[in-house]
């Protein structure tokens, strides 16, 4: 179950994600070999989470203290919308809906080629493009890439209203 730090944000929200760095492999035509490189930044994107359902699941963690425990798994419909494009579904492996684990991570994949890992505590993300290189083509038309950056809350869809106590406390400070 995700930590309480999520509060109401864990249900329905949109996050604007800014790509800050990118690196990977590129083919060097002069040397006729692949090498590591700093690459062009990917486009910024919006990640939208829509709560789907809560399931009770048996944990299979490697941590001996967690084995056999029952946990709640909040599943989400997740879409990624890169600047200039329409939304694309992001699913967990096996076409399952993604969920936020107890460490505040959400992992999903677009079409099996682009994987994302989001951390909802420090707001960092990693984007991994797995195409190219292993297909055997020695050119720089399709290169594997790892990008990363930060996501900020852009819109909360179901934010609760503050209590009267909260409002009074804020006024008297």
Interval 109-159: pLDDT, tens: 998 889 999 999 999 999 999 988 888 899 888 899 999 999 999 877 654
The number of distinct structural domains making up the chain is 1
| pLDDT for 2 beyond 70 | no
Question: Using one digit for the tens of pLDDT, what is the confidence trace for 39-48?
Answer: 999 999 999 9
Instruction: Calculate Rg over the CA atoms of the chain.
Output: 20
Decide: helix, strand or coil at residue 139. coil
Tokens of 152: 């900020």
Global pTM value = 0.78
Give alpha helix (H) positions in 16-151: none
Print the domain residue range for 119.
4-172
What's the average model confidence in pLDDT over 8-12? 58
With vertex at residue 51, the alpha carbon angle to CA 78 and CA 59, rounded to the nearest 5 degrees, is 90
Mean pLDDT taken over the chain = 82
Query: By the 8 A CB rule, do 140 and 27 touch?
Result: yes
Location of structure tokens 């060097």? 28
């Amino acid at each position: 179950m995700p930590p309480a730090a999520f509060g109401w944000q864990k249900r329905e929200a949109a996050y604007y994600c800014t790509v800050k760095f990118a690196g990977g492999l590129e083919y060097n035509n002069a040397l006729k070999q692949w090498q590591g490189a700093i690459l062009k930044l990917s486009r910024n994107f919006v990640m939208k989470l829509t709560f789907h359902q809560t399931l009770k699941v048996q944990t299979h963690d490697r941590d001996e203290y967690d084995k056999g425990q029952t946990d709640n798994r909040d599943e989400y419909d997740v879409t990624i919308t890169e600047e200039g494009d329409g939304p694309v579904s992001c699913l967990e492996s096996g076409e399952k809906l993604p969920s936020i684990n107890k460490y505040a991570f959400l992992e999903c994949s677009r079409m099996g080629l682009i994987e994302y890992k989001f951390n909802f505590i420090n707001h960092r993300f990693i984007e991994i493009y797995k195409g190219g290189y292993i297909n055997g083509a020695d050119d720089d038309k399709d290169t594997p890439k790892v990008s990363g950056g930060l996501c900020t809350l852009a819109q909360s869809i179901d934010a609760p209203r503050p209590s009267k106590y909260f409002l009074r406390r804020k006024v008297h400070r």
